[in-house]
Structure formats: structure tokens, C-alpha cells
Amino acid sequence: MGAYFFYFLENMALIIAMMYLGLKAREYLVPKLAESRKAPVLNGLLTGFLAFAIMYNPLLHEGMRIDLREAPLYFIAFVGGWLPGAIAMIIPFAYRMMMEGPTVWLGIMQAIFLPVLIGSLFHDWKNYRPPYAMANIKRMMAGFVVFEIIKSIWMVGSTPATAAMALMMALMAMIAVLALGLILNDMHRNIIRWKTLEHESTHDALTGLPNLRFFHEKARQLKYRGVPMAIVMMDVDHFKNYNDTHGHPAGDVVLRSIGQLMEETARHEDIIARYGGEEFILCFTGVSTERQAFELADLLRERIENHPFFGADQQPGGQLTVSLGVALSETEQPLDELIERADRALYRSKKSGRNRVTVASIKTDETTGSGYQVHA
């Protein structure tokens, strides 16, 4: 029995080591893979290869090929569901068929099909949150105990395996599955924590929009690449009056709603952010004419003007509106100067009656000398 113990111990160590290395490789080498739609397929294939590696050097016992292949197969089905579990069966199934032997079908049913079936049945669909799903350890181990009871009784009753051998296999496999669950949870918890901190450092807590730091970084990248752009500064009209009338919680709802309208209106390649207070900033990319910049900004203005905000009828003019200032990028103009031009255009919109878009001309208006084109 000592030889059996050390063989199963080697299997257990191989399972834990390869799963750990696989998770680390995914984290550092291909971090986007975890969020890809192909992740379940690849996870299944990698788990199938792990099961094959365990089966490659089996413990032979009266024609039986004994190993702990069920541990990774159960684990992937429990964590990811039936799809990666079914894919994980392909490689070990094909390999076991090639090896033949008197217990080939029993081995396939007991140590390949059954762990995937039980793992899929115990998979927690309601709380499954890919790509960094956390394993419910209690549920996982309860399901694995059910599997081991069924498998051990079946194996002892239908193969030359002894009860002592089945018990030793079950204990070692349980330790391996427990270790896999703890490793997975620890890694996913660290990744989630890191992503949360990263998101909080680049996004506004109230609206969920990117913050000014994120905006500057992305806009400077576009400037460096020479992408035509227009910067838009936007301010909510009479927002202090709204807060005084309805309270700051209602004002926060307005800011969140405006942020959502900005996300819905902006194109995929545009950049939006909260500037601070009731001010927002946008970067329309691929914009090369003042008319095009005005039309994009005015579309956003109209959507906000027509949105049914709570208490908007008590605002001056009976509507909750915004004023916008737009500045087109010049070839060598720094981003900070471009934002300053847009801010001056916004100020002109406020002075001209609010609820309007003002585009700062690249060339000064020779008639008025104002340097602005005002569009109501």
C-alpha cells in the first residue's frame, strides 16, 4: 500500500503544480484570455491535457489503469459548468480508448464521465460570475464527496480494486480538489481586488464615468498619434438651483443620468469623463470640421434637454439643460491649451443664454474679433 500512497501523492502534486502554473501563465502571459469567449474552450482543453498527463504513467493493478484524473475533470466542470467539462473529457477519453484493456469502459465511465457529470450538477449557475468566478468550497467538496461515494462503491463492486485502495484514492483526490479550489479563489480574489483598485483610480465614484486623469492619458495618446479631435466642455445649467430645490441626492441622480446619456450618445472611439462638480468633458475623435463637431455636441445637448429629469419643470425655463463649448484640435497645440479653448467656449455659451453649443473657431472671426462661432 505504501507504493500506492506515494503514487497518488505524486499525482496530487502534479495536479496542483500544473493547475497553479496554468493559472499564473493565464494571469501574466495572456490576461485578456480569461475575458474571451474562447476561455471555456481553452480551459477545457488545458484541463483535458492535464488529465492526460496524469494518465500517461498510471498505476497498473490487475489490468486496471489507476490515477487521479477525476480531480481536474470534476474541478473544471464544477467551476465552469458542462461546456468546459465536456471539452475536458475529449483528450482523456481518446487516450483511454487507445490503451484498451479489460476495464476500459468502466474506467471511462467512473473516472472521466462521472466526475464531469457530478461536477456539472453541482455547478452554481446562479452565482457564477466569469471570468474570475469564485469556487464555493463547501458546495464543491460536498459534490466531490457524492462523486467519490458513487465511484468507490461502483469501482470496488465491478473491478479488482480493493476498498482500501478506493479510500486512499478518494482522500488524495479530495485533497487535490480542495487545493485547486483554494488556489483558484486566492488568485481570482487578488485579480478582482487589483482590477477594482485600477478601476477606482481611473473612474469617478458617483457617475461611473472615467475621471480626468484617465481622460488626459487617452486624449494625449490620440494627440500623439495625430488623430483629428474636438474637445467638448459641458456644464449643467442652474445646477445649484436644482440642488437647492430638490436636495443633493436628487442632484446626484441627475449627474448619473447625464453620464449615462453621454455613454449612450458617444461613439465607440470617443472619450468621455467627469471633469468635476457638474462639469463634464468629451473628446470626439475623427472630427475635422467645426460643423461636424457642432452637430455631435448638439445631439448630446438635445438628448439631455429632452430627458424627463425629476423636477426639471421647476428649473429656469422649465427644463434641465446643459451648455457646451467645443474646440477643434490644431496641429501642434498642447492638450491643455485645447481644453482651455473649449472652456472659454463654454463660458461664452453660459453668457449667451445657456442651453447652447459654442464652437471656438480655429481662425478668429474678423467681423466680431471674438474668435467664436455661437450656435443656439
Neighbours of 39 (CB within 10 A): 18
What is the pLDDT averaged over residues 338-351? 96
**In this predicted structure, what is the pLDDT of residue 363?**
56
Tell me the average pLDDT of the chain. Answer: 90
Q: How far apart are CA 274 and CA 114, in angstroms?
A: 53
Whether 370 has a pLDDT exceeding 50, the answer reads no
Q: How far apart are CA 136 and CA 144, in angstroms?
A: 12
What does the longest C-alpha to C-alpha distance in the chain come to? 101
Q: How far apart are CA 252 and CA 256, in angstroms?
A: 6
Percent of the chain at pLDDT exceeding 90: 70
Whether 376 has a pLDDT exceeding 50, the answer reads no
**In this predicted structure, what is the pLDDT of residue 1?**
62
**Residue linked to cell 470496488:** 156
Confidence band (pLDDT; 50, 70, 90) for 132? confident
pLDDT tens-digit readout, 173-202: 999 999 999 999 999 999 899 989 999 999
Q: How far apart are CA 180 and CA 173, in angstroms?
A: 11
**In this predicted structure, what is the pLDDT of residue 12?**
87
DSSP assignment of 68-125: -THHHHHHHHHHH-HHHHHHHHHHHHHHHHHH--TTHHHHHIIIIIHHHHHHHHH--S
Q: How far apart are CA 220 and CA 167, in angstroms?
A: 63
**Residue linked to cell 449557475:** 125
Q: How far apart are CA 183 and CA 20, in angstroms?
A: 7
Confidence band (pLDDT; 50, 70, 90) for 286? very high
Whether 345 has a pLDDT exceeding 60, the answer reads yes
What is the pLDDT averaged over residues 40-53? 91
**Residue linked to cell 471633469:** 275
CATH number, span 212-375: 3.30.70.270
Query: If you classify domain 2-202 with CATH, what class do you get?
Result: mainly alpha
What is the pLDDT averaged over residues 107-120? 96
pLDDT tens-digit readout, 57-69: 888 877 778 889 9
Instruction: Give the β-pairing of 357-360 and 322-328.
Output: parallel
Q: What is the pTM of this model?
A: 0.74
Question: Judging by beta carbons within 10 Å of its beta carbon (0-12, 13-18, 19+), is residue 235 exposed, middle or buried?
Answer: buried
pLDDT tens-digit readout, 214-247: 999 999 999 989 999 999 999 999 999 999 999 9
Assess contact for 259 and 300: CB atoms under 8 A.
no
**In this predicted structure, what is the pLDDT of residue 373?**
52
Q: How far apart are CA 376 and CA 368, in angstroms?
A: 17
Confidence band (pLDDT; 50, 70, 90) for 322? very high
Neighbours of 150 (CB within 10 A): 15
Q: Which residues contact 204 (CB under 8 A, 6 or more apart)?
A: 210, 211, 259, 273, 274
Whether 320 has a pLDDT exceeding 90, the answer reads yes
Judged by average pLDDT, the poorest of 21-25, 95-99, 120-124 is 21-25
Whether 4 has a pLDDT exceeding 60, the answer reads yes
